[in-house]
């Protein structure tokens, strides 16, 4: 079964420190992986995606993510956290090999709340 | 440049009432989906559509109906509201597989 796991409910980071939000996945075939961010009382906003190519993907607002096939992980990172990065982060996977069955829907993790303190 | 528009933003229903959550997109996207977001459970897929006239069930379809008569619109109907349907509902659309979704701003529904 396809699944996405975000093992941490909350991540606390001091402003200026590097941050990592973890994501692991389980899908058949090669995955398409995504990160979304949700600010309070808002919809989800796209941050970045991995489809193929370089394992290090750069996205919006200085975020990047590293795809690791052997560890089935797609961790979100940022070298220097800002207070304004505080939000709920969702990892999602779309199994493009299973187009006929899943019809390309996104499977979301449960979300990780990132709190950046001044 | 409206993107995905959801209405209403807030709604309170009494148990047993029915209502329709509206979703419209102006990006000519083929894929549209409805998710519900509950604390600690992330987003769960209710129904989705891969084009006009084609819909299918997601993970939690019970109590909800959808139709897709046009590419632009994908309404979600609650047939007989129950307190368990209290949630935040998001509509999302996508150009094709391999692309991330564009989400609407959500509808916060409370069933009392």
Structure confidence by residue, pLDDT tens digits, B73-111: 999 999 999 999 999 999 999 987 657 789 999 999 999
Which residue in chain B is spatially nearest to A37 when comparing CA positions?
Answer: B103
Q: Which pair of tokens denotes residue A33? A: 């992986």
Q: Which of B6, B31, B34, B43 to substitute to test the interface with A, most A CBs within 10 Å?
A: B43
Structure confidence by residue, pLDDT tens digits, A17-58: 999 999 999 987 788 899 999 998 888 999 999 988 899 999
CA B37 – CA B13 distance, rounded (Å) = 18
Q: Which of B40, B66, B97 to substitute to test the interface with A, most A CBs within 10 Å?
A: B97
Q: Taking the mean position of all CA atoms in its chain, how far away is CA A67?
A: 10
pLDDT at A96: 58
Contacts of B88 (CB under 8 A, 6+ apart): B36, B37, B38, B106, B107, B108, B109
Contacts of A101 (CB under 8 A, 6+ apart): none
**H/E run at residue A99:** helix A99-102
CA A97 – CA A18 distance, rounded (Å) = 34
DSSP code per residue over chain B: ---EEEE-SEEEE-TT--EEEEEEESS--SEEEEEEEETTTEEEEEEEEEETTEEEE-S--TTEEE--SSSSB--EEESS--GGG-EEEEEEEESSTTSPPEE---EEEEE-
DSSP class of residue A26? E
CA A112 – CA A4 distance, rounded (Å) = 12
Contacts of B27 (CB under 8 A, 6+ apart): B3, B4, B93, B95, B102
pLDDT at B98: 55
pLDDT at B1: 64
Which residue in chain A is spatially nearest to B39 when comparing CA positions?
Answer: A110
Percent of chain A whose predicted confidence (pLDDT) is above 90: 72
* Nearest CB partner across the interface for A105, out of B4, B33, B100: B33
Q: Which pair of tokens denotes residue A31? A: 């995955």
How many Cα atoms are found within 13 Å in the side-chain-facing hemisphere of A82? 5
Is the model's pLDDT at A105 over the cut of 90?
no
Is the model's pLDDT at A100 over the cut of 90?
no
Place of tokens 């398409």: A32
> In whole angstroms, how far apart are CA B106 and each of A24, A66, B18, B103?
27, 30, 18, 8
Cross-chain residue pair A105–B41, CB shorter than 8 Å: no
């Amino acid at each position: 079964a396809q699944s996405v796991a975000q093992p941490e409910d909350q991540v606390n980071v001091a402003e200026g420190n590097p941050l990592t939000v973890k994501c692991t996945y389980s899908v058949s075939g090669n995955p398409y992986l995504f990160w979304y961010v949700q600010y309070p009382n808002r919809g989800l906003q796209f941050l970045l995606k991995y489809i193929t190519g370089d394992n290090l993907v750069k996205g919006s607002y200085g975020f990047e993510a590293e795809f690791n096939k052997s560890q089935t992980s797609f961790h979100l990172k940022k070298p220097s956290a800002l207070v304004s990065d505080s939000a709920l982060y969702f990892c999602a996977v779309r199994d493009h090999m299973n187009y006929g069955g899943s019809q390309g829907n996104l499977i979301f993790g449960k979300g990780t709340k990132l709190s950046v303190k001044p | 440049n409206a993107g995905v528009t959801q209405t209403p933003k807030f709604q309170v229903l009494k148990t047993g009432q029915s209502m329709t959550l509206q979703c419209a997109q102006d990006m000519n996207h083929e894929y549209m989906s409805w998710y519900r977001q509950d604390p600690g459970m992330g987003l769960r897929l209710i129904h989705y559509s891969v084009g006009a006239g084609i819909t299918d069930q997601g993970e939690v379809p019970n109590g909800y109906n959808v139709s897709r008569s046009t590419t632009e619109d994908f309404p979600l109907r609650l047939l007989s509201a129950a307190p368990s349907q209290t949630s935040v509902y998001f509509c999302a659309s996508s150009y094709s597989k391999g692309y991330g979704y564009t989400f609407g701003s959500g509808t916060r529904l409370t069933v009392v």
